[in-house]
């Protein structure tokens, strides 16, 4: 789609400046009404949705400041909603009323204003630590799928999953550098004893995602995600809904294919959930998401690490026959976890996710960590 053929862009160009200003005023007024309704009846502490946060913060449950310092970590423990709750929170499990949101749009708008993710800091690093769950298998065992007529090796049917921790440090400003510590503290789980015995009988071959890897990228600009922006370009994205949506549309208009704009926004969501964007940009993206009708609120739930949040779901489609779920902490806008569920032929999702990623730490730090194993480094060019 080109700018000349986009009806939204044509209407926007014809809109008088006074009408646009009035629309912005009504948008702000509507958002304030949503916040007032969402926060009414909740504890006074929950109403203080705009608050100064220590930088960086941690999402680890039950971690005290003393324990963090004793472990040599660079994250400070933070009391309140952005830490893992030790018990039921207001509007969550424990007998209190559910969060007063009519739908996913209201929830996203309220949490856009409550956004509690610290800004990236130039000269430092953006640190993301995750715990992940993936189906795995023997390296190369699925190669037969690419060879018509080849016999399937017995190990190709192995039913096994793995959980592991990954960390990434991205430099903000200055020379480009990314350090990754991937697949650490892995835990392999076989679906049955028969699967384990098959694996052992075949000599216990190496499994994907089961061994730690450290990688480093340096030199020229590294581009991220669907948007294909550098860390500096992500940092410079607009911090208001209107300006950010215009920026997204400009990228969408040059993208190949006939993907609808809403589907494009859903595909770039990860760029905003975990990349080094400013807090106001992240909040503006939540406001853009709030305008997408395909997002539905699935209610209160616990993420894979046991933290309470609100689940938002994107239903399967012909293009994406998977259910995508985001679990967001109410009152902070912090993404706790994201899940992908397989669906059957009728589009009904399986109860357990095929993959999940839980965010344990995310925020600015002054220095990068150290490789956990000898690092594989690549110069990205200039």
Q: Tens digits of per-residue pLDDT, 222-281?
A: 777 788 888 888 889 999 999 999 999 999 998 887 889 999 999 999 999 999 999 999
Query: Looking at the predicted structure, is the pLDDT value of residue 7 above 50?
Result: no
Query: Looking at the predicted structure, is the pLDDT value of residue 184 above 70?
Result: yes
Query: Looking at the predicted structure, is the pLDDT value of residue 319 above 70?
Result: yes
Instruction: Answer with the residue of higher pLDDT: 82 or 163.
Output: 163
Separation CA 94–CA 96 (nearest Å): 6
Separation CA 160–CA 190 (nearest Å): 4
Host H or E run for residue 171:
strand 160-171
- Give residues with Cβ within 8 angstroms of 256, minimum separation 6: none
* Other CB atoms within 10 Å distance of the CB of residue 85: 18
> Cis peptide before 316, with omega less than 30 degrees from 0?
no
Strand segments, DSSP code E, in 220-351 are: 295-302, 308-314, 322-328, 335-342
Instruction: Answer with the residue of higher pLDDT: 104 or 157.
Output: 104
Highest mean pLDDT among 6-15, 73-82, 268-277: 268-277
Mean pLDDT of 180-199: 95
pTM of the model: 0.73
Highest mean pLDDT among 11-25, 139-153, 331-345: 331-345
Burial label for 240, CB within 10 Å (0-12, 13-18, 19+), is middle
> Cis peptide before 56, with omega less than 30 degrees from 0?
yes
What band does 373 get if pLDDT is binned at 50, 70 and 90?
very high
For residue 359, the model assigns a pLDDT of 97
Average pLDDT of the chain to the nearest whole number: 76
Mean pLDDT of 55-64: 34
What band does 380 get if pLDDT is binned at 50, 70 and 90?
low
For residue 363, the model assigns a pLDDT of 93
For residue 56, the model assigns a pLDDT of 38
% of the chain exceeding 70 in pLDDT: 69
Q: How many domains does the chain have?
A: 1
What band does 37 get if pLDDT is binned at 50, 70 and 90?
very low
What band does 84 get if pLDDT is binned at 50, 70 and 90?
very low
Helix (H, G, I), strand (E, B) or coil at 62: coil
Separation CA 266–CA 259 (nearest Å): 11
Query: Looking at the predicted structure, is the pLDDT value of residue 382 above 60?
Result: no
For residue 116, the model assigns a pLDDT of 83
For residue 152, the model assigns a pLDDT of 52
Instruction: Answer with the residue of higher pLDDT: 87 or 329.
Output: 329
Residue 115 to residues 118, 308, 341, Cα–Cα distance (Å): 9, 17, 27
Host H or E run for residue 356:
strand 355-365
Query: Looking at the predicted structure, is the pLDDT value of residue 20 above 50?
Result: no
What band does 287 get if pLDDT is binned at 50, 70 and 90?
very high
Query: Looking at the predicted structure, is the pLDDT value of residue 357 above 60?
Result: yes
Backbone φ and ψ of 314, nearest 5°: -110, 115
Domain extent, residue 379, equals 1-382
Tokens read off for 278: 């400013």
For residue 335, the model assigns a pLDDT of 96
């Amino acid at each position: 789609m080109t700018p000349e053929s986009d009806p939204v862009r044509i209407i926007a160009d014809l809109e008088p400046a006074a009408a646009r200003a009035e629309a912005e005023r009504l948008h702000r007024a509507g958002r304030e009404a949503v916040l007032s309704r969402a926060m009414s009846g909740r504890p006074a502490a929950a109403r203080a949705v705009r608050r100064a946060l220590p930088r960086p913060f941690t999402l680890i449950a039950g971690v005290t400041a003393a324990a963090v310092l004793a472990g040599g970590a660079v994250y400070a423990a933070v009391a309140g909603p952005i830490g893992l709750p030790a018990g039921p929170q207001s509007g969550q499990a424990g007998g209190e009323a559910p969060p007063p949101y009519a739908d996913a749009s209201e929830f996203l708008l309220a949490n856009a204003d409550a956004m509690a993710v610290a800004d990236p800091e130039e000269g430092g690093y953006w640190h993301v630590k995750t715990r992940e769950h993936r189906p795995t298998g023997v390296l190369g065992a699925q190669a037969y799928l690419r060879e018509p007529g080849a016999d399937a090796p017995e190990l190709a049917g192995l039913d096994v999953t793995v959980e592991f921790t990954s960390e990434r440090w991205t430099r903000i400003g200055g020379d480009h550098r990314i350090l990754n510590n991937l697949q650490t503290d892995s835990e392999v789980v076989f679906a049955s004893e028969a699967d384990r015995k098959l694996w052992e009988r075949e000599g216990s071959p190496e499994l994907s995602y089961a061994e730690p890897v450290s990688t480093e990228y340096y030199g020229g600009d590294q581009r991220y995600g669907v948007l294909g922006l550098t860390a500096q370009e992500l940092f410079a994205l607009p911090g208001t809904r209107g300006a950010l949506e215009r920026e997204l549309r400009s990228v969408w208009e040059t993208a190949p294919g006939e993907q609808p704009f809403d589907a494009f926004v859903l595909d770039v969501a990860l760029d905003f959930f975990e990349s080094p964007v400013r807090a106001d940009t992240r909040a503006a993206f939540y406001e853009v998401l709030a305008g997408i009708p395909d997002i539905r609120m699935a209610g209160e739930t616990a993420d894979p690490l046991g933290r309470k949040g609100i689940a938002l779901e994107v239903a399967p489609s012909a293009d994406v026959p998977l259910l995508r779920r985001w679990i967001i902490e109410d009152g902070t806008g912090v993404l706790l976890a994201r899940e992908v569920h397989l669906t059957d032929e009728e589009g009904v999702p399986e109860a357990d996710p095929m993959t999940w990623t839980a965010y344990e730490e995310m925020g600015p730090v002054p220095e990068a960590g150290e490789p956990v194993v000898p690092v594989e480094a690549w110069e990205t060019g200039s």
